[in-house]
Structure 1
């Protein structure tokens, strides 16, 4: 079984069940599967066949869902790309990923037209119309094809080639925090197994109506808010862009049962003045991932909206989920939970040996969800996957009940005078201050101690001073963990999935001292 065959199975069993809602549009499983077949057939007619690479430069929309499943049905490998990437970033992935066809929104037509000479191996550019594109009067150049035309030319039924478990379904390019992005190759087995294991662990069923407002090109949304509900006959509530007002409106009007978000989204929802518990009255579960959620925020959110937040953990290379807080046992604030079904997690030292309970080491993962490897990067693959275990680069510990806790990224750890300081523990203290809305901590060079703790915060109290905040921290942290300086910002830089960009903060610090 894979994502494509399971979608067809549900379309046969529950043809009239609503698969997704997008604005005023609803699509049943029969309609969605039919569109997927026609699009896959249309791709085949223009020369896309098994093993070809197809890039998706699309936001959250039915276009994304049909393109993803259509590409997989024709046996192609889909490469989702953030549509707001720069031309340099896009062309790097298209070239490195050996992309044969691009499916993009019409707003990108001017950008793609300028890039044509830089992407010689791209044979087809398929454009999806948007209301904004029509308003801007965007016209397709001759070489570009219309999504609508491709789908109209397709046939149904369309079987497509047979798909092996080990065939690569998707290549996800990591954010490239340590150099050029790497393409994680995820197989049909990787994606299907993780979608079903997550769904079983979190008890997804056909009654669930899951809000998908995280970017679909990101693996967290792809698996948890799109594939998992679709594989179990649920309904995906597609929201193109995150907005607290829109989330509360959709949750209320469409009777959402599951919300999937990152900590910054929860922070915005919590801070939104018009948000109230009644808006989330039908929501049975909130899911958080992508970054560690401050315990103070988690508790405040749960109290305000009367809903459980289950924090989990994953990474692109693991399709992505490895842990979630279970629903049949107490949820532990600050923990990423226990291993999901069929996935093993353990904490090891630098020799790969498991460390005792409570000790900090590197988190490693094994299971059917672990990627095939990095595309065209055998050395990186061999370094990351050893003896069947995926080395995550995250520092973690495990308690006596098998709950895991992410301490920090291995590369983000700060060493002050020989002592280890984990940014997260300082951030937790900052978040516990009543005036702090957001916080981020980095290590900066220090002539006496090697490194020092530098903090960036967003405060809702314009009168709060650096000295007052450091004094507050001194009540909760050992002296060597105390911030050497605190900078107040209007907003902390984040990527499109809401993850704080520590690299941008480090660059900001570097430029300020030069």
Structure 2
């Protein structure tokens, strides 16, 4: 079974049930199934076949849902892309990912036009109408542009779906790499189906649930927990274009939402508005938190303010993503990421490659049908991550005597900005592209709203170089959440005897 066939079965069983709500407009499972089929048939008419790579650069909308499942139905490999990325960031992913077609919004086309000459393998830019007044008649890629809406209109319900094997790649999720270049984690149809099913079963997500999708759909957390899990069980997805506390409360109240999933930053913003009359979570039966560790004080205060249980879990893109959640039928342990979900096994490994003793800190490793098949075109990195059937996460953890896991430290040097992963090397690479930079080092600094922010230390070749100039340079090359919040100028960076930059000394400087 795969997520596409499961969605078709759900549509057959519950044709008139509401699949999703967007801007107060409801769409049934029968209507969704029809649009997916029509879009898939139009993709086939354009020449897309099983194994072709199609990128999605879209915000949260019905467009995303239809495009995702439509592309999967023809057997394409879908590459979700953060629509906030700059042309500089998009260029690498689209070329490395061998992308043949791009589905995006008209308002984002300027980004793709800027790099179109380098994207020689791209055959089509399928544009979703968001009300942009711009004409694309004079666009450099006008001959490659297709209308998303027109493709659905022209499509046929009789699409022929190729045979999809469990081991076939369904998604390639690009994660920030420690080398500065993103790595494409290949998730199979079995990976995404099994994790959606096992997560739904573990958290009892069912056909009566109405799930708020405020997390970005290009992120696998939202894809699995807020989209695939409810849709495969006949639930209703409440699509939000973006997160805002007031809109979440409005949707929760008016649409009678039962589940909310978010990162700790979102819960912090919601808690700050708890005293307002519109802060209504009265029908929410479960809140799900992931992306980064939730401070225990925040968890307790949120539960007290809204009288709702928060189940904190853990996951990573390479595991589709969920491996642990705090169970609903047993006591929840604040500060813990919970226990292994159904059909997934977690264990802590010591430095000798053996399973650690209870309470001993080691590297968290994961095994199960949700674990990726490898990194795209990166055999060496794949062999380092996948060993003896286990995915080594790089996160340091411990397990107590009841099988609850606790993350002790994150992947080395990784910065978490509002739930988004930022690797220092990625920012440093951009800084080094500036001609006035001699040396650069990036660390995470505490931030009251986003958990962490990006802080830079630089040594310059040009004494006249200013922070404002460097920040503007970064904004042109990095997504907003990766842009440094502060840049300090030093005469030299602290190093050890081998010349390695001592990040700990820089962190100590920040914490003084």
**1:159 has 2:160 as partner:** yes
Offset at 1:509? Answer: 5.1
SS at match of 1:280: coil
User: Aligned in 2, Cα 1:389/1:54: closer, same or farther, shift over 3 Å?
Assistant: same
- The corresponding residue for 1:86 is 86
Conservation of the 8 A alpha-carbon contact between 2:273 and 2:279? no
Q: How does 1:216-235 map to 2 (within 5 A)?
A: 216-235=217-236
Offset at 1:105? Answer: 0.5
Offset at 1:137? Answer: 5.7
SS at match of 1:370: coil
Offset at 1:11? Answer: 0.6
SS at match of 1:171: strand
Where does structure 1 lack aligned partners over 5 or more consecutive residues?
A: 414-422, 425-439, 443-452, 460-492
1:423-461 CA distances to partner (integer Å, 9 max, x unpaired)?
A: 99xxxxxxxxxxxxxxx9x9xxxxxxxxxx9953439xx
SS at match of 1:126: strand
Conservation of the 8 A alpha-carbon contact between 2:249 and 2:279? no
Q: How does 1:395-410 map to 2 (within 5 A)?
A: 395-410=396-411
User: Aligned in 2, Cα 1:98/1:365: closer, same or farther, shift over 3 Å?
Assistant: same
Offset at 1:277? Answer: 8.8
Partners of 1:177 and 1:59 lie apart in 2 by: 27
- The corresponding residue for 1:427 is none
TM-score (norm 1): 0.81
- The corresponding residue for 2:285 is 284
- The corresponding residue for 2:34 is 34
SS at match of 2:99: coil
Partners of 1:199 and 1:308 lie apart in 2 by: 16
SS at match of 2:92: helix
Conservation of the 8 A alpha-carbon contact between 1:365 and 1:390? yes
1:254-308 CA distances to partner (integer Å, 9 max, x unpaired)?
A: 0000000000000111112654696100000000000000001000111111110
1:355-407 CA distances to partner (integer Å, 9 max, x unpaired)?
A: 11111110000000000100000100000000000000000000110000011
User: Aligned in 2, Cα 1:112/1:306: closer, same or farther, shift over 3 Å?
Assistant: same
Partners of 2:332 and 2:288 lie apart in 1 by: 12
Offset at 1:88? Answer: 1.3
- The corresponding residue for 1:7 is 7
SS at match of 2:448: strand
Offset at 1:333? Answer: 0.4
**1:116 has 2:116 as partner:** yes
Partners of 1:204 and 1:395 lie apart in 2 by: 30
Q: How does 1:31-430 map to 2 (within 5 A)?
A: 31-131=31-131, 133-134=132-133, 141-272=142-273, 275=276, 279-412=280-413
Offset at 1:331? Answer: 0.7
Offset at 1:513? Answer: 7.5
Partners of 1:378 and 1:203 lie apart in 2 by: 37
Conservation of the 8 A alpha-carbon contact between 1:251 and 1:280? yes
Conservation of the 8 A alpha-carbon contact between 1:291 and 1:499? no
TM-score (norm 2): 0.81
Q: Structure 1 runs of 4+ off > 6 angstroms?
A: 498-501, 510-514
SS at match of 1:142: helix
Partners of 1:511 and 1:22 lie apart in 2 by: 50
Partners of 1:277 and 1:403 lie apart in 2 by: 36
Offset at 1:54? Answer: 0.3
Partners of 1:513 and 1:130 lie apart in 2 by: 49
Offset at 1:175? Answer: 2.6
Equivalent residues, number: 440
Where does structure 2 lack aligned partners over 5 or more consecutive residues?
A: 417-421, 425-442, 450-473, 494-512
